[in-house]
Amino acid sequence: MSKTKFTTTVVHADRKLNPDSGAVHYPVVNSVLFGYDNPQDLVDIFQGKLAGHAYARQSTPTTDALQSMINGMEDGVGSLVFASGMAAITTTFLTLLNAGDHIVASQFLFGNTPSVFGTLKRFGVEVTQVDVTDIEQVKRAIQANTKMVFTETIANPVTQVADLQGIGHLCKQHNLVYIVDNTMTPSYLFKAKNVGASLITTSLTKYVGGHGTVTAGAVIDTGNYDWTQYANILDSFKTLPSQAQALTQIKKKGLRDLGGCLSSDSAQMIAVGAETMALRIDRACANAQALAEFLESHDKIAKVYYPGLKNHPQHQQAKTYFKQFGAIVSFDPVENIDPVALLTELNVVITATHLGDNRTLALPVAQTIYFEMGLENRQKAGINENMIRMSVGIEDIDDLTADFTQALANV
Ligand SMILES: *Cc1c(COP(=O)(O)O)cnc(C)c1O
């Protein structure tokens, strides 16, 4: 059979792993422990000579099935799943960095990631955050002790698009590990592997799960990086093939020791969500484009931030990278409109944090997710005090535009 396309592959992924029972969904295996008739099998599993499960903090058949699905979606050489996106990100950093190392990171990141940088600094890892839309800034930030570059694809809430290809070339030139958090533009929209990413980190809680019922995260090795060249691979993993070294180290020193493991129940929920990811994303992106254009033409809206708009500073790059422009639309109402008052008038749109849900969600940025940051830092980040961030869902577009039409008429 020839290689099937995205959704065909995803919806048939589970049953292909489980030909014995014929289950179409990979079963939820809620066992923490795994027993073996032949004790040598358990010995061999512990010693890495045999594939299998020992204890649910490292893997279960159900988390393995999800890993296989996620890996296939990203065209990787292996993946690991975690209890949340943050568990995936933090575990990856803590496992692959040593005191004295330096990383270059985007200055436009999901808020908890810079908070992790604060923790890394306490353990002797230096972090320089730069404007990743400007490759010169990334280049200038590289030092002798730089080990990796970390960026997201489309930033939240201002929707800056990183110079993903430029950073890929730079990392290749300097032999740096390139980590892309592709939560905003999952595999169906964007293949980070194709711009040279070494590892992909992602929150499966968002578009992949999609239904707001479960948290999960993943790390995927794209196979682009030769880990035999990486200084921080521990001796015990150096004997493995290059493509297995980093993920095994993240699994054995990170997932196993830090314990941010995904439950089998949660893994199956994510896998069920993943089946419709492409359909949901197609719809959400089409809605986002329509709403962005609607808001842009409205006289009570001062500014709209969406990479699908022609006046977006990285519209051209976004067009080359992504199949569509994502479903985050931010906007500033005109100055005399209070964002909280506007949100109060909306009936379909839910005021909530979170993104990548089936439902359209919105929140006043400066008053909530970036409140702790303070006015000065908000201004530096390009966040206006009346900005609203919206994660566009899959509702019928006429209902969304009608909701905004009436809400804007009432403020
Ligand atoms: C939500 C998010 C995360 C964290 O994921 P959780 O599953 O909530 O831990 C990381 N990166 C980005 C870009 C996100 O939007």
pLDDT at 1 over 60: no
pLDDT for the residue numbered 380: 86
The reply to whether ligand 1 has any atom less than 6 angstroms from the CB of 83 is no
The reply to whether ligand 1 has any atom less than 6 angstroms from the CB of 152 is yes
pLDDT for the residue numbered 18: 76
Does residue 298 sit in the same domain as residue 267? no
86, part of any domain: yes
Q: To which residue do tokens 């404007």 refer?
A: 131
245, part of any domain: yes
Nearest CA to ligand 1 atom 1: 203
Length in residues, the chain: 411
pLDDT for the residue numbered 2: 65
Backbone angles phi, psi at 117, to 5 degrees: -60, -40
* Structure-model confidence comparison of residues 47 and 97, the more confident one: 97
Report the CATH number that the domain containing residue 343 is assigned in CATH: 3.90.1150.10
Does residue 226 sit in the same domain as residue 198? yes
Nearest CA to ligand 1 atom 6: 85
Question: Which range marks the domain in which residue 400 is found?
Answer: 278-410
259, part of any domain: yes
Q: To which residue do tokens 């980590």 refer?
A: 179
1, part of any domain: no
Does residue 51 sit in the same domain as residue 161? yes
Give tens-digit pLDDT for 204-234: 999 999 999 999 999 999 999 999 999 999 9
Instruction: Place 20 in a pLDDT band, splitting at 50, 70 and 90.
Output: confident
372, part of any domain: yes
DSSP characters over 15-35: HHH-TTT--SSPP----SB--
Does residue 46 sit in the same domain as residue 92? yes
Task: Flag whether the pTM goes above 0.75.
Answer: yes
Instruction: Place 19 in a pLDDT band, splitting at 50, 70 and 90.
Output: low
* Closest of 176, 184, 112, 106 to residue 145, by C-alpha: 176
CB neighbourhood size of 174 (10 A): 13
Report the CATH number that the domain containing residue 53 is assigned in CATH: 3.40.640.10
Does residue 47 sit in the same domain as residue 85? yes
175, part of any domain: yes
Our count of domains for the chain comes to 2
24, part of any domain: yes
What tokens does 387 get? Answer: 């900005």
On whether the CB atoms of residues 255 and 58 are closer than 8 A, the answer is yes
Average pLDDT of the chain?
96
The reply to whether ligand 1 has any atom less than 6 angstroms from the CB of 67 is no
Mean pLDDT of 304-319: 98
On whether the CB atoms of residues 393 and 287 are closer than 8 A, the answer is yes
Give tens-digit pLDDT for 242-264: 999 999 999 999 999 999 999 99
Does residue 332 sit in the same domain as residue 254? no
The reply to whether ligand 1 has any atom less than 6 angstroms from the CB of 91 is no
Does residue 270 sit in the same domain as residue 359? no
Give tens-digit pLDDT for 336-375: 999 999 999 999 999 999 999 999 999 999 999 999 889 9
Instruction: Round to whole Å and give the CA distance between 201 and 79.
Output: 10
Pocket test for ligand 1, best of 109, 113, 158, 205 (most atoms within 8 A of CB): 205
On whether the CB atoms of residues 78 and 123 are closer than 8 A, the answer is no
Q: Which of 274, 301, 328 is the last residue of a domain?
A: 274
Instruction: Place 194 in a pLDDT band, splitting at 50, 70 and 90.
Output: very high
